[in-house]
Amino acid sequence: MQSLNTIVARASLPVPEYHLDRFQGRVLEELHLEFFFARCQVLITPTLKYFATGEASDEERSQIESILAQRQSFIDDLKRYLIFSLSLYSALLETNSYIISVNDHLMIARFVSLSGQREGFEVKLYTLRREDLPTRYADKIYLGRDFLFLDRLDRDHFGLRQIRTALREQNVRLRGRLETHVPGSLRDSLERDFLLDLRELIEEFSRKADDLLRDFPPSFPGDHVEEPTLLDMNGRFRELKHLLIESDDVLREMEERLFEKAPRAARYVTKYRKDVANDVNYIMLKINGRISDAVNGIRL
Last residue of a domain, one of 98, 120, 154: 154
pLDDT at position 124 is 97
Using DSSP's 3-state secondary structure scheme, residue 141 falls into strand
Cβ atoms 151, 12 nearer than 8 A: no
Residue 240 shares a structural domain with residue 282? yes
b/e for 39-57, b at 16 or more Cβ within 10 A? eebbbbeeeeebebbeebe
- The pLDDT value recorded for residue 159 is 94
Q: Are residues 125 and 213 in the same domain?
A: no
Asked whether residue 126 falls in the same domain as residue 206, the answer is no
Say if residue 195 is in the same domain as residue 213.
yes
Question: Are 150 and 186 found together in one domain?
Answer: no
Contact 40, 55 (CB under 8 A): yes
Residue 242 makes CB contacts below 8 A (sequence gap 6+) with none
**CA 111, chain centre distance (Å):** 10
Cα separation, 189 vs 196, in Å, equals 10
The residues with which 227 forms a beta bridge, in sequence order, are none
- Point out the domain boundary residue: 132, 154, 176: 154
Same domain, residue pair 129 and 10: yes
Distance CA 74, CA 65 (A): 14
Which residue pairs, CB below 8 angstroms and at least 24 apart, start in 62-65? 63/1, 64/1, 64/4
pTM to 2 decimal places:
0.92
Domain residues for the domain of 249 are: 157-296
Both 95 and 24 in one domain: the answer is: yes
Amino acid symbol at 37:
F
Of the candidates 205, 243, 207, 225, the one whose C-alpha atom is nearest the C-alpha of residue 290 is: 225
Domain boundary among 129, 154, 179: 154
Q: How far apart are CA 30 and CA 14, in angstroms?
A: 22
- 107-114 vs 50-52, strand pairing mode: unpaired
Q: Tell me, what's the pLDDT at 217? A: 86
Number of domain units in the chain? 2
- The pLDDT, as a whole number, for residue 2 is 79
Per the CB < 8 A criterion, the answer to whether 146 and 126 are in contact is no
pLDDT of residue 300: 54
Q: DSSP code of 9?
A: T
pLDDT in tens, the chain (300 residues): 778 888 988 888 888 888 999 999 999 999 999 999 999 999 999 999 999 999 999 999 999 999 999 999 999 999 999 999 999 999 999 999 999 999 999 999 999 998 878 889 999 999 999 999 988 999 999 999 999 999 888 899 999 999 999 999 999 999 999 999 998 889 999 999 999 999 999 999 999 999 999 999 888 766 577 888 889 999 999 999 999 999 999 999 999 999 999 998 999 999 999 999 999 999 999 999 989 888 887 655
